[in-house]
Amino acid sequence: MTNKFQKPVETINTDLDSKIWDKLNLKTKPPGSLGKLEHLAYQIARVQETLSPSLQKPIVMVFAGDHGIAKSGLVNPYPQEVTYQMVMNFLNTGAAINAMSTAVGMEVVVVDAGVNHIFESKLPLVHAKMDYGTADFRYGSAMDLETCHKAMRKGAEITADAIGKGTNVIGFGEMGISNTSSASLIMSTLCNIPLSDCVGKGTGATGDFLEQKLKTLQEVQKFHGLSHEADVDKVLAIFGGFEIAQMVGGMLEAASKRCLTLVDGFISTAAFLVAYRLAPQIKDFAIFTHRSKELGHTKALEYLNAHPILELHMRLGEGTGCAAAYPLLQMSVAILNEMASFDSAGVTGKSKK
């Protein structure tokens, strides 16, 4: 699939690289002594192409969608209606992402990508419903290819609108009962990793139920017979959810606009895998916020050679990893912009001998 968005994702300009490191290394500290915070400052500065970066109007976009497989009860111990119930919880500011985002000064934007519920038009969410949930991928594709592309374009439009309003930091979160199953199938196929290394608890599948979940998804994978060389948008259409497809388009659009992309946990990383396969350059613009406790996340990160900031044993989703990591981005920018240099502080620097 070709990138059909407003402009392609560009390879990042490296002309400022040495100047950014020079500025960091001349701060009143031994070079490298602030570890990952320095690398974060470097990444943010090169994404924004400036020695004085800033973080403007940070948001977490929570894309919500339902999955046809959820109705079978084979892969999720919670019923499908929990998706719309949690969307209402987001809108009523009662969820973990609301509490965490408020604490760190991030806005939460809720997107109905395809929830199996009719929401009132006056509710403060982005109405971007593709359908009332995907089809059951046990019997065919979750969505057709045209709808998949439409969902990606819609995600790009939503992201472009947020950037147009001044944000330059977007966290990508999600909600959707059974979407760990979609993410596991996407990851297994694209990374050529056995499903047994990808399928985890999700919304609480343990013991015999977890074994049933794995067996069901192995049967789904065998039914479709996709190889890791299959067209990536076909993999997304067959196994994905509307929320995942919209995140893919959003991530590509964010990178094309030089906006920092905060990747949450397992499902967000599965969406990133698809976007990465379409435009590998987007990795320059992405910050992987945490390592999820969900089984497959570590292997997905290894495939991407991505190094998450935090490891808090979380596996909730919703974009909570983005909110947890955001203060570290603020500190990184402050180090670059506000910390004194040896010269300005009148501190003797390292001997050149």
Q: Among residues 162, 187, 190, 189, which one has the least CA distance to residue 294?
A: 187
The answer to whether residues 248 and 236 touch, using CB atoms and an 8 Å cutoff, is yes
The answer to whether residues 308 and 290 touch, using CB atoms and an 8 Å cutoff, is yes
The answer to whether residues 142 and 114 touch, using CB atoms and an 8 Å cutoff, is no
Q: Is 315 exposed, middle or buried (0-12, 13-18, 19+ CB in 10 A)?
A: buried
Q: Give the residue numbers annotated as catalytic, written as ranges.
A: 318
CB-based contacts of 225: which residues, under 8 Å, 6+ apart? none
Q: Which two tokens stand for residue 252?
A: 């590509």
Q: DSSP string spanning 246-270?
A: HHHHHHHHHHHTT-EEEE-SHHHHH
Sheet strands (E) in 24-95: 59-65
Alpha carbons 33 and 75: distance in angstroms, whole number: 46
Name 59's bridge partners: 107, 170
